[in-house]
Structure formats: C-alpha cells, structure tokens
Homo-oligomer: A and B are copies of this chain.
C-alpha cells in the first residue's frame, strides 16, 4: 500500500526551508498579503514571492488578487491529504515493528 506517491516531495515543498515553514505557520493563523509576510518575516519581497510561488505550484496556497494587494491563504484540503499520508505512514511503521527481513 502506498501512503501517497509524492508524499515526500509535497512535504519538502511545504517545509523544505525554514522561511517557507514560517510563512506556512503565519498563514495558518490568518490570510495575509505579501507585504504582511515581508513585514513579519523580515525577508525581502522577492524572497517571499519566490516561496509563495513554490507553495502555490505545490497546491498548498491560493492567491487572491485584491486590487493591488494579493491575499494568500492555505488550502486546508491539501494539508488534510498530507495529514492522512503521514498518518498512514505512521500506522504502517507501527506494523513494521514485527517484521524483519532476514539477512542473506
């Protein structure tokens, strides 16, 4: 049984970088636009945009243009899939405790 084909890749896209993880953590509290994230993290605007692009392409955030601002929010459905995937892996790991492949 496969937990999720690209579970690892998805996770890396989410947490693969400390700053990206911080962005996710902030977006988990409220929707924010890029300028908010720049203020809160202290990173440059181009850096924030870069990470938002990664998160967007990975399907973890959505961008909503609001005039000259762009609001970002997390996609709970994507996070739910991730949660299930890791939960499955955890359950599988639990069962694996009893299995040992013999050494030739």
Q: Are B76 and A93 in contact (CB under 8 A)?
A: yes
Chain A interface SS verdict (over half): helix
Let me know if A79 and B71 touch, CB within 8 A: no
Residues in A23-82 with C-beta less than 8 Å from chain B: 24-25, 27-33, 35-36, 66, 69, 71, 73-76, 79-80, 82
How many chain A residues touch B (Cβ–Cβ < 8 Å)? Answer: 48
Interface string of A5-25 (1 = CB under 8 A from B): 001110110111010111011
Q: Bound complex: CA of A15 vs CA of B8, how far in Å?
A: 5
- A93 engages B12 (CB within 8 Å): no
Known: A14-B11, A86-B86, A90-B82. A76 touches B101 (CB 8 A): no
